[in-house]
Amino acid sequence: MEYLVLARKFRPQSFEDVAGQEHVVKTLRNSISQGHVAHAFLFSGPRGVGKTTIARILAKSLNCEKGPTPIPCNICSNCREITDGSSLDVREIDGASNRGIDEIRELRENVKFAPAAARYKIYIIDEVHMLTREAFNALLKTLEEPPAHVKFIFATTENHKVPATILSRCQCYDFRRISLQEITGNLEKVAKSENIQISPAALFWIAEAGDGSMRDAQSIFDQVISYAGSNINDDAVEDILGLVDRKYLFRISEAIGQRDAGACLLILEEAYLAGLDMKQFYQMMLKHFRNMLLVKITAEGSSSFDIAPEQMEELKKQVKKMTRETLQLYVEILIAEEDNFRRSQETRLKLETILVRMAYLEPAIPIGEIVAAIEAVEQKLQGGLVSGGNSIQQESADRSMLTAPVYSAKPEGGNNTKAPFDGPDKLAADNQQTANPAELGDNFKMFLKKESPLLGAKIVSAESINFADGTLTLSFPKGYIFLENISEKLPKEQLEQIAKKFFQRDVTIKITTIEVDKSNNHSGNGRPKANNVNDIKRNAMKSPLLQKVMDEFAGAEIVEIKAKTEKKQEV
């Protein structure tokens, strides 16, 4: 017996067998049951979703010897002939090869004759949009007022090309893409019927390759069976579908998330040498980052999207480290460059530049949120100083915020070159040892702030800075909020390197604490004393509002807290 492909062998023969088009099936069955069957139908939708199949089932329902019935028997001669395609009263016409006015004139003459054996003479015209304008015009009158024994069923993948005069004379049904779950369920039934051993994951991959088309998925399944036999392992499916390429996608997105441009280029080099088509890989990347954005936005609701379960878990792990705004920027970059990439002769070079651009992209946070948070914290600080610091009543804060990674708000490509310092570094080491301690401390603070603004902001509150015998002693008030941070190994090593550059010799850093007089809140020059300022800073660090801001902005760090007096004089 001649081999019959799966798409034909398992073609639905009744409305109950149709997958993914419940809205069409329900309407047609109800119209048949109620006796309200129109004289012309237009089925439109993507390829392989059941347009011609439902047209045949409708023809059998109308011409079944037990009908018209919503459930054709598939046993009588009329049903069998329609199924076999040999019925004289049900004609399937290809609109692409019978598109001229002469063919339509012949059809108009034939509709006058009664059916040979069935109840209705039914014309199924596939790809009806291919008919010429003249052919459509010749069909208009017959389509509007056909004989009682004639039914027209049109099918098209491009209903926008069908004239409005034709659409107005038909009942129009829009067919949808079939979901992955429904296609996978159908393939499972086919595999069970054919005694094919295959994993659910492999069936899902085949369904995904079908891109919403049941016929395409079944054809791919047929191809996989021819390649691997009746016992199909996952590796065979990955080979024939080219799914090995997916491993590069997750590796590249991981490297971009870590802002490692070098790793991106190495992964792309590996993929290129493996024989991947760069244009196809670009489309895969676009879909991959789109999936990441969907998972980030919808969280648990992302399961409703057509994404493989094993991919979903990996995507959720990766998007935890990225903000929604950053992912959206990645997708926008890929979409904006798609046309240029498609027209580029050097696809690999173009893709490399895109990956580098994405890898060096600064993490994005909505500017409105940043400004609002900063203003709120500033107002809180000002209010605390005006009322003597008594208005800030907060809960204890997690000190881990003090050592959080720095968030950079500078624009991409900004210049980080340090401004030249033409002050104390011109002094000889022996002169600096004998310099006035107060002047020495101010000079060192100035030098440190130019070398490392972050570290300088933490050292600026030092009560005294003394240098003797190669040891730089920094004295801070007890309870200083950054004391624990600057006492750690890494900041101290950085401080020693900067001090070495300043004093032109090896320097050992010593951190000490001192008691500060708390008898009054201001010094003679009208500025708040260190203990009061530090109390306010500690209270600010404990502010629930500030903690909320830190939670909202992943990767942010408090660089410096500046207290202001009533006259807004900066401390």
Mean pLDDT of 481-485: 77
pLDDT tens-digit readout, 342-367: 888 888 999 999 999 999 887 766 56
Q: Rounded mean pLDDT of 188-199?
A: 91
* The last residue of a domain, from among 317, 334, 359: 359
Residue 512 lies in a domain: yes
- The domain that holds 213 is classified in CATH as 1.10.8.60
**Same-domain check for residues 155 and 286:** no
Whether 570 maps to a domain, the answer reads no
Please report whether residue 333 resides in a domain: yes
Residues 162 and 34 in one domain: yes
Residue 136 lies in a domain: yes
Q: Which helix (H) or strand (E) holds 512?
A: strand 508-514
Structural domain boundaries, residue 22: 6-174
Last residue of a domain, one of 223, 241, 259: 241
Comparing 129-143, 264-278, 375-389, the range with the smallest average pLDDT is 375-389
Q: Sorting pLDDT into bands at 50, 70 and 90, what band is 559?
A: low
Same domain, 424 and 545: yes
pLDDT at residue 107 above 70? yes
Label residue 435 by pLDDT band (50, 70, 90): low
Q: Is the domain of 229 the same as that of 283?
A: no
Query: What's the number of domains the chain is made of?
Result: 4
Q: Quote the Cα angle for 339-343-347, to 5°.
A: 100
CA proximity to 445, closest of 428, 429, 462: 462
Question: Could you tell me if 566 and 549 are in contact, meaning their C-beta atoms sit under 8 angstroms apart?
Answer: no
In the Cβ-directed half-sphere of 28, how many Cα atoms lie within 13 Å? 34
CA 287 from centroid of its chain's CA atoms: 8
CB atoms within 10 A of CB 446: 16
Distance CA 222, CA 218 (A): 6
User: What's residue 561's pLDDT?
Assistant: 67
Q: Global pTM?
A: 0.58
Residues 163 and 221 in one domain: no
Q: Sheet of 40-44: strands edge to edge?
A: 90-94, 121-126, 150-156, 40-44, 171-174
- pLDDT over threshold 90, residue 553: no
For the ranges 321-335, 373-387, 465-479, the lowest mean pLDDT is seen at 373-387
Q: Work out the average pLDDT over 91-98.
A: 88
Residue 187: pLDDT band by 50, 70, 90 thresholds? very high
pLDDT band with cut points at 50, 70 and 90 for residue 555: low
Q: Are 171 and 42 in contact (CB under 8 A)?
A: yes
Query: Which of 333, 359, 385 is the last residue before a domain boundary?
Result: 359
Report angle CA 302, 304, 307 to the nearest 5 degrees: 70
Predicted pLDDT at 157: 92
Record the tokens describing residue 214, joined without a space: 């049941």
Q: Are strands 40-44 and 171-174 parallel, antiparallel or unpaired?
A: parallel
520 & 473 share domain: yes
Is residue 381 within a helix (H) or strand (E), and if so which, with residue range?
helix 367-386
C-alpha separations of 462 from 186, 438, 448, 475 in Å: 73, 11, 13, 6
Flag whether 526 is in a domain: yes
Contact between 377 and 543 (Cβ < 8 Å): yes
Q: Are residues 227 and 273 in the same domain?
A: no
pLDDT (0 to 100) of residue 465:
84
Q: Quick one: 310 and 353 in the same domain?
A: yes
Mean pLDDT over residues 94-99, rounded? 86
Q: Is residue 126 scored above 80 in pLDDT?
A: yes
Q: Which of the pair, 302 or 36, is modelled with greater confidence? A: 36
Has residue 1 been placed in a domain?
Answer: no
Question: What pLDDT shows up at residue 425?
Answer: 44
| Helix 309-319 vs helix 246-257: crossing angle, to nearest 10 | 10
Residues 333 and 399 placed together within one structural domain of the fold: no
- Span 236-257, average pLDDT: 83
Answer yes or no: is 61 within a domain: yes
The answer to whether residue 1 scores a pLDDT higher than 50 is yes
* 497-539 confidence digits (pLDDT tens): 888 888 888 888 888 887 765 554 444 444 444 455 566 666 6
The per-residue pLDDT of the chain, averaged, comes to: 79
Range with lowest mean pLDDT among 190-194, 281-285, 304-308, 461-465: 304-308
For 372-422, the pLDDT digits (tens) are: 666 666 666 655 544 444 443 333 333 333 333 333 333 344 444 433 444
Tokens of 397: 């804060």
Long-range contacts of 516-521 (CB under 8 A, 24+ apart): 516/463, 516/477, 516/478, 521/388
3-class secondary structure, 193: helix
User: Contact, 504 vs 516, CB < 8 A?
Assistant: no
3-class SS of residue 523: coil
How is residue 271 written in tokens? 């993929």
Q: What is the pLDDT of residue 389?
A: 43
Residue, of 454 and 61, whose pLDDT is higher: 61
Per-residue pLDDT at 106 exceeds 80? yes
Is the same domain home to 125 and 234?
no
**Same domain membership, residue 311 and residue 396:** no
Q: Other CB atoms closer than 10 Å to residue 186's CB: what's the count? A: 24
pLDDT given at position 489 = 81
Sign of torsion over alpha carbons 562, 564, 569, 571: negative
CB contact burial 363-383 (16+ within 10 A = b; e otherwise): bebeeeebeebeeebeebbee
27 with 113, same domain?
yes
pLDDT band at 42; cut points 50, 70, 90:
very high
Residue 322 forms part of a structural domain = yes
Nearest CA-CA partner of 165 in 42, 27, 44, 38:
42
Question: Reduced to 3 states, what is the DSSP secondary structure of residue 240?
Answer: helix
Predicted confidence at residue 427, as pLDDT, reads: 40
